[in-house]
């Protein structure tokens, strides 16, 4: 029972932190749509007619540099609509990059917002949207080891009604070593 209460408390803290942060970046991302491969089509969940956005493995796509107190981390990622409908209507999808930070409780983590990207282009069912951008990571947040863990969340402010609201975090967590 204690573990489930701690989990609920941790999730609540993450939600409050994510909603209260005002840090946003102005990014002109390079994007493209692509038809899903047959393997990605098989990932579509069964259920009602709704989109379902998922961030697929992403990576550092160049050299990490340090300038003016910020680590510049070039990234590439793919967001795929694995749902049963297009994501239509007026909305903006926020992709948020978080730093995964160990908490004072052993085995638990908190997530600190690093950067937000806004996508206004729709992702039709079975297609992908690509983002090539730069994460500006504050040098003052660099741990002594130099190793940081980043994770990306699609539909970060829940603007899109999806089949599965729980699969918006990327499966891959970046393990990046800062110079």
CATH tag for 2-177 (out of 1.10.10.350, 3.40.50.300, 2.60.40.10, 3.40.109.10) = 2.60.40.10
At 172, the pLDDT band (50, 70, 90 cuts) reads low
Q: In Å, how far are 8, 37, 46, 56, 84 from 43, measured between CA atoms?
A: 28, 10, 9, 12, 11
Token output for 107: 């085995």
Most confident of 17-31, 132-146, 153-167: 132-146
Ordered alpha helix ranges (H), 125-165: none
At 111, the pLDDT band (50, 70, 90 cuts) reads confident
User: Cα separation of 137 and 70, whole Å?
Assistant: 5
User: Cα separation of 46 and 168, whole Å?
Assistant: 17
Supply the pLDDT for residue 91. 61
- Of 105, 100, 97, the residue nearest 143 (C-alpha): 100
Q: What is the mean pLDDT of the chain?
A: 74
| Nearby residues of 60 by Cβ (< 8 Å), 6 or more positions away | 73, 74, 75, 174, 176
Judged against a pLDDT cut of 90, whether residue 71 lies above it is answered with yes
Supply the pLDDT for residue 90. 54
Q: Specify the long-range contacts of residues 54-57, CB closer than 8 Å, at least 24 apart.
A: 54/79, 54/80, 54/82, 54/154, 54/167, 54/168, 55/79, 55/95, 55/152, 55/153, 55/154, 55/168, 55/169, 55/170, 56/80, 56/128, 56/170, 56/171, 57/170, 57/171, 57/172
User: Cα separation of 65 and 178, whole Å?
Assistant: 8
């Amino acid at each position: 029972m204690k573990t489930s209460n701690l989990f609920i408390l941790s999730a609540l803290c993450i939600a409050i932190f994510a909603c209260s942060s005002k840090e946003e970046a102005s990014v002109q991302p390079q994007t493209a749509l692509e038809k899903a491969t047959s393997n990605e089509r098989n990932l579509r969940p069964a259920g009602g007619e709704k989109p379902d956005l998922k961030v697929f493995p992403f990576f550092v796509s160049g050299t990490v540099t340090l300038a003016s107190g910020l680590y510049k981390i070039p990234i590439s990622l793919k967001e795929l609509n694995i749902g049963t409908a297009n994501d239509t209507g007026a909305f903006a999808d926020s992709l948020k990059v978080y730093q995964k930070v160990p908490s004072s409780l052993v085995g638990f983590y908190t997530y600190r917002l690093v950067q937000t990207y806004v996508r206004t282009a729709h992702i039709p069912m079975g297609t992908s949207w690509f983002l090539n951008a730069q994460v500006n990571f504050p040098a003052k947040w660099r741990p002594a080891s130099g190793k940081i863990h980043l994770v990306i969340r699609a539909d970060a402010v829940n603007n899109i009604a999806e089949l599965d609201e729980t699969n918006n975090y990327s499966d891959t967590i970046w393990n990046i070593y800062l110079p």
